[in-house]
Structure formats: structure tokens, C-alpha cells
Amino acid sequence: MVSPAPPDSKPSQSRASQAAVTPTDPAPPRTILALEGVTKSYPSGTAALRDVDLAIPEGDFVFLVGPSGAGKSTLIKLLIRDEVATKGAVLLDGRDLARLRRREVPGIRRKIGIVFQDFKLLPHKSVRENVAFALEVTGRPRRDIGPAVDRVLRVVGLAAQADQLPAQLSGGEQQRTAIARALVHDPRLFIADEPTGNLDPLISWEIIQLLLRINEMGVTVLMATHNAEVVTALRKRVVALEDGRVVRDQTAGAYHRED
Ligand code: ADP
């Protein structure tokens, strides 16, 4: 029969086991998203992305900038598998998106939350119903949906507006609703494609603050934007595309190159 350890041996045992699981050099964060030699040519012959390499570690906040036509939307379409790379690999959490089986696509897509410049809300559904609908279509049990929706509405600060229709909301509140809807799946990667394009500067800052909070909750954020003021002020990582190529990848960068 094994006798229990004497009480006075417990502290040293727990310290020892802690030391075993807490290395002095923490492992680097895993790469949530990687593009390896990605080229995307449309049937028209336009090469929208050319030999793009990009690695985004989990927890990063990345601005994607570049002039119109540079390839930003194409890159985002590859991430949500609206398009497939012509050459190279797009890896989300280690999975090559081009090699997914059809039935695996919805599950992988749910690792990504996405919002756009236009909020794409359902006009005849309330804020709560818009967010809940995103879960209903995935077959989530009804009893889980209410609490999940309430939680994300609190995160985006819309608990009081839950029963209003989109037309009764300001632009900023509509974008918050879209953010709540994207967040309700607990995504690992949050993509914001020009999220402040339709909003005035003050409201834009509120939306950016919200994205920063989502990032602090541990979600990786990739934001495509033309908002030079925001990019330059925040000193986050900046990936600049031009003519389908990454021309700059800078930690703590500005919107424009600063030589
Ligand atoms: P951005 O989002 O930076 O404005 P896009 O990814 O939309 O850039 O476009 C990159 C290039 O690919 C442009 O030359 C654009 O005209 C072209 N392009 C985008 N979508 C398509 C498409 N569906 N068919 C053909 N060409 C396209």
C-alpha cells in the first residue's frame, strides 16, 4: 500500500513540478498564419499576388497597407478560402487551405472572424438576432447561443442595444454588431478589411480600441486599412503590399515608409 506523502513535502514537490512545466525561455508563439511563396493569378491574367512570404505569430496585431490594387483583398480572400493560391501555400494553424476536404472548410473558416467596410448586417433582424444567427447556421445547441451572444455583446459594448434593428443604430454601433457576430465563434484570427472606411475619425478610433481589446484577449488581428493616422499612431507591425509584392514588413511601423 502506498502511504500518502507527508504534508510538509508538498510545497517543495509543487515547486519542482512548476519548474518542470515553466521553462525559463518560453517557447515562441506558434505561427497562426503563413503564406509561403504565394502567387495568385486571376483567369484574366492579372497576377494579384506575386511570391508572397508572410508569417504571423499567434497574438500579433498586423496592419496590411498598400495602394488600391496592391493585392490586399486578394490576400484576405485566400485566407477565407474564397480564392485558392495559384502557386505556394496558405497555412492557417498549420493546415494548407488548398488541401482541405470540402467538409473541413466550414470548421477552418470558423477559426477566422471577419468584418468589412460595409457591415453586411441582416436588416430585419435585431442586433441580438444578427449575432445569434451566425451561431444558428452552424447548428450550435440553442441553449448555448443566448449566453454566447450576451457575452460578445458585452465585449463590444452593445448590451443595451441588443433589441434594436440595424437601421436604428449609428455606423459605429453597426460595425460593433458586425464585430460581435465575427467574434461569437471564438476565432483565433480576426480579419478587419477597411473596418473604419465608412466611419468618422472619432468613431474609427473607438473601433480600433475595440480591435486592440480583442487582440489583448489573445486573438490575432489582421487589419487592412488606408487609415494612415491610425497605423502611424499605434506603432504595430505593418505589412505593405505594392503591385502584389510585400515591399515592407516592419515591427512598430508607420503607414508610410520612414527613412
Ligand atoms: P486591393 O485590395 O489592394 O485594392 P485587390 O486584391 O482587390 O487589391 O486587386 C489586386 C489586383 O487584382 C488588381 O489589379 C485587381 O484589378 C485584380 N483583381 C482583383 N480581383 C480580381 C478578379 N476577381 N478578377 C480579375 N482581377 C482581379
- What is the tens place of the pLDDT at every residue in 73-118? 999 999 999 999 999 999 999 999 989 888 888 888 889 999 999 9
Q: How many CA atoms lie within 13 A of 213 on its CB side?
A: 15
Beta bridge partners of 175: none
CA of 43 to the centre of ligand 1 (A): 11
| Res 139: pLDDT | 87
> Which grid cell sits at 35?
503564406
pLDDT digits (tens, 9 = 90+) for 123-152: 999 999 999 999 999 888 999 999 999 999
> Has residue 169 got a pLDDT over 80?
yes
The H or E element containing residue 53 is: strand 47-57
CA of 80 to the centre of ligand 1 (A): 16
Count CB atoms within 10 A of the CB of residue 228.
12
CA of 201 to the centre of ligand 1 (A): 27
Choice from 40, 42, 75 to test ligand 1 binding pocket (greatest atom count within 8 A of CB): 42
> Has residue 14 got a pLDDT over 80?
no
Measuring from atom 17 of ligand 1, which residue has the nearest CA?
A: 48
| Res 13: pLDDT | 43
CA of 139 to the centre of ligand 1 (A): 34
